[in-house]
Every structure is written in C-alpha cells, then in structure tokens.
Amino acid sequence: MNTARLAEFVVKTSLRDCPDAALAQVRRAALDSLGVVLAGAPEPVAMSVRAVARAEGGAPLCTVIGTSLRTSPTWASLANGTAGHAHDFDDTSFALMGHPSVPLLAAALAAAEAEPADGAAVVLAYLVGFEVSAALGAALNPDHYTRGWHATASIGSIGCAAAASSVLRLDPVQTRHALGLAASLASGLKENFGSMTKPFHAGHAARNGVFAAMVAREGLTASDSALEGRQGYAAAFSQTTLAPDAFDALGQRWQVLTSGIAIKPYPSCALTHSAIDALLALRARHGLAADQVAEVSVGVNHVVPDVLRHASPTSGLERKFSMQFCAAAALATGRVDLGSFGDGPVTDTGTRELMGRVRMVVDPKLPDGLNEHTWTRVSVRLRDGRTLESAPRGASGHPDQPLTDAQLRDKFLACAIPLIGAGEAEGVAAQLTHLEDIPDIRALTARLVTARD
C-alpha cells in the first residue's frame, strides 16, 4: 500500500542512509530558506499571521524568525512558512512543481524546537519530507498542478507531515496516520496567485504537517489508504492513478539530487526567470534602452499563462506573476530584485511604458518535460528594424546552472543583514555549513530573533 510505503520510508531512513551530496543540498537549502524567511518577516502577510498568533496565544516553545515572538509549534510553523514565501524568493522543485524548502524547514524547525532535537534531526526531516513531496509530485504532476492545485500546499502538506513525523520519532502506524490526516488537510488554489494567500499556502503546508504529526502521536487515526484509496487523495486531486510501485524508488533514487532544487536569483515566479535572464543578457550585450524597443515577444510553455495571469498588475504581489512587468523591468532597469516589487504605481517610466509592448505567447516548440516548463524563447524587435533573439533556454539557479556558493551566500546576506545585522548573519551562514552537527537546534534559532513584534 502506498501510504504504508511512505510511512515505512519516513521511519526507517536514517542520516547514514543519505548521500553526502544530499546533505550538501540541505545546507544550501537551509541557508537560502532562512534568508528569505528573515526578508519576509516585515511583510504585511507575515504580520497578519503573527497578529492572530499573538492574540490566540500559545506555549512559547518555538521561534518566529525575524521577530521577538515565541509561540506554539503550529503557529510558529505557520508564521515562518508564510514569511518565507512572502517575496516568492524561495526555492522550487520541478518534481513537486512548487516550493519545497521553506515549508519543510518551517515544519522541521518548529518540531525540533518543541522536542527539542538537534541539527541532524532537522536535516533528516528535510530529506525525508523532500523525497515524499517529490515522489508524490512526480507521480501526480503535471495533471495535479494544471487542475489548479498549488502543489506547495496541496502536496507539500504531506511532505511536511513526513518531516514532522521524523523529528517527533513517530512509529510506522502513527506516521501512516499523520500522512493520512495531512491528505485531508491538504489544499491550496492557484487562483490565489498574486495575492497574500499564495505565501500563506507555504505556512499552511508547514502547519498542516506539524499539526498532523502532533495529533497522530496523541492517538488520532486516519484511513490506511488515505492516499491511494478509491476516494482518496490521488483520486480527488488528480486524474492520475497511483501505481502500486509509485514509491518503490524511495531511498534508492534521491530526488533531491536527480530532479534537484532550483534556487531563485529573482524574487518573482520561477516561470519569469528564464525570460529575465535572456533580457538582461540582451540588454547588456547590445546596450539596449527601453525606448529603443518596439516589442518583446516571450514564448512560453503551455502551463505558464494560467500562472502568469496578471498582464496589467496593480500590486507588487501581482507583478511577481506578470511576465509583462518582469520582462519590462529587466529591459528597462537592468535588474529584478526586492526593490522592483513595491506596491503602488510602477514608478519607473521605462518599465511602465514598455509593459504594454510585451507579449507572452505559447510556443509549442519548447520542450515539455517537468524540468523544462520554465523555459522561454525571447525575441526583441527594435524600432530601427532589427530583431534580437535568445534561443530556448532554462534559467540561472536551476540544477543545470546552479548559483555558486558565493552567489547563494550573497543572497542570504542581502536578505538577513537588514534584520539581524552583518555579524549575526555571517555567524548563521557559517553555522549552517555544519547544520547536521548542531547539538541543539535552538543554538541556531536563537540567532534569528529581533526586537520586532
């Protein structure tokens, strides 16, 4: 049975079973994720979640990163997961077709602080959670995603339940119940992309996982076939039937290494990144200015228009899901960064005027693998009659062209220093190079607090 196979993998896997290369991926994911959680802590969506957490109260066992608040594991995981996705700057997985690391780490850190547990437990929890999420994603996508589910939450909730079950050391029966409960809690709609609810999805997944594991430990039960049953998770969430051997490769073929993790260089939807890279390169190579451009055409995969839905965005969050804005900003300003996505009117004249000359079209000649849905083909027609083209390409930060360790560290420091200062940020970056050796995870989380409410 598929649910039982997942539970067995979660319970029986030890850190000794995990390849060294997989541990290295976790360290990089943790550095990136903690940086974007810190950067997201001041954002309105994160403040809204904290306001309710503070009002409801909770045992002060866990850190709400980037703040002075301590609260219960479920509230901390919700708050940290939401903050980590507030800028849409956190990493992605092609198999999941969503954002794996922020929810998994939010869940694992909250569970580890509550126990308490060590860094090795957090690393193992991340890995088993990632593998469960990626295995489900590989089995159900792209149908699951194109039906309208935001896999970060709808699949990620089950991965987070696996992660929390690992930290809490549930037995196989308890873990199976936690996964079954998480299957009922799972949700998250792509229609909410471009609103505060999208970042909330990441917190929702983390909270679901922690809650499911905690109540399963206390005896709450779920169906033994919650995932594969006739009216179970797979049947409800996808037209794809889970094969009996869907999870046989768990622990033998590590998705964290094969499908990999894509770390974002830009704080916008990953489907904009290939075009941003191409346009920044064309701008630099040809010395382009916005007023030279008559039209930009961006060819995209067929899944993209339902995600990049905001041709005329009216807020910073909508601009993250607008090819028109991201392409125009790249060409007009030569950058796409956290400062590009403020609320209110678009202040840069070149960007504002160029947005109306950007077309996004489905290009059936683009490759269609799960790891290629982000590819684009870019053409820039100039007012002088020339046409500049960029061949089909993926994006920087993806597993085939990853950010260097130095680039990732620079991203972390840029996110973290405004909140915790340069000295502490440097210390956290150094500490994360040996995350699995931290004897008590609170030695890490204690460095991630500020005076902010």
**Whole-number Å distance between alpha carbons of 440 and 111:** 12
Q: DSSP letter string over 56-74?
A: H---S-EE-TTSS-EE-HH
**Whole-number Å distance between alpha carbons of 301 and 274:** 12
Token pair recorded at residue 321 = 């899901």
pLDDT band at 18 (very low <50, low <70, confident <90, very high): very high
**Whole-number Å distance between alpha carbons of 159 and 32:** 19
Is the pLDDT at 371 greater than 90? The verdict is: no
Helix (H) or strand (E) holding 238: none
Token pair recorded at residue 51 = 């306001």
pLDDT on residue 1: 66
Phi-psi region of 90 (alpha: psi -120 to 50; beta: other; left: phi over 0): beta
Asked if 164 and 206 touch (Cβ cutoff 8 Å), the reply is no
Q: Cβ atoms within 10 A of the Cβ of 421, count?
A: 12
Is the pLDDT at 101 greater than 90? The verdict is: yes
84-98, 177-191, 240-254, 389-403: least confidently modelled range: 240-254
> Is it true that 2-265+413-448 and 270-393 share their CATH fold?
no
Residue with tokens 């990049």: 308
Identity of the residue numbered 104: L
Average pLDDT for 336-352 = 93
The fraction of the chain above a pLDDT of 70, given in percent, is 100
Identity of the residue numbered 22: A
The residues pairing with 262 across neighbouring beta strands, listed in sequence order, are 92
- Which stretch, 33-37, 339-343, 363-367, has highest mean pLDDT? 33-37
Average pLDDT for 257-270 = 96
- Which stretch, 307-316, 367-376, 438-447, has highest mean pLDDT? 438-447
Spatial CB neighbours of 83, under 8 Å, sequence gap ≥ 6: 37, 38, 40, 41, 43, 45, 46, 49, 65, 66, 199, 203
Q: Which CATH number fits domain 270-393: 3.30.1330.120, 3.90.25.10, 3.40.50.300, 3.40.50.11540?
A: 3.30.1330.120
Give tens-digit pLDDT for 397-419: 999 999 999 999 999 999 999 99
pLDDT on residue 240: 80
More confidently predicted of 66 and 371: 66
Extract the runs of DSSP E, i.e. beta strands, from 27-139.
62-63, 70-71
45-49, 241-245, 305-309: least confidently modelled range: 241-245
Asked if 213 and 165 touch (Cβ cutoff 8 Å), the reply is yes
Asked if 62 and 164 touch (Cβ cutoff 8 Å), the reply is no
**Whole-number Å distance between alpha carbons of 433 and 453:** 29
Average pLDDT for 357-369 = 94
Does CATH place domain 2-265+413-448 in 1.10.4100.10? yes
Average pLDDT for 423-429 = 98
Domain boundaries, the chain: 2-265+413-448, 270-393
Angle between helices 119-140 and 20-40 (to 10 degrees): 90
pLDDT on residue 143: 92
pLDDT on residue 242: 83
β-pair type (358-362, 293-300) = parallel
Residues composing the chain: 453
Q: DSSP letter string over 245-311?
A: TTTTTTTTS-HHHHT--B--SSSS-GGGHHHHHHHHHHHHHHT--GGGEEEEEEEE-TTSTTTS--S
Q: Cβ atoms within 10 A of the Cβ of 196, count?
A: 17
Give tens-digit pLDDT for 23-46: 999 999 999 999 999 999 999 999
**Whole-number Å distance between alpha carbons of 441 and 439:** 7
pLDDT on residue 333: 97
The residues pairing with 295 across neighbouring beta strands, listed in sequence order, are 381
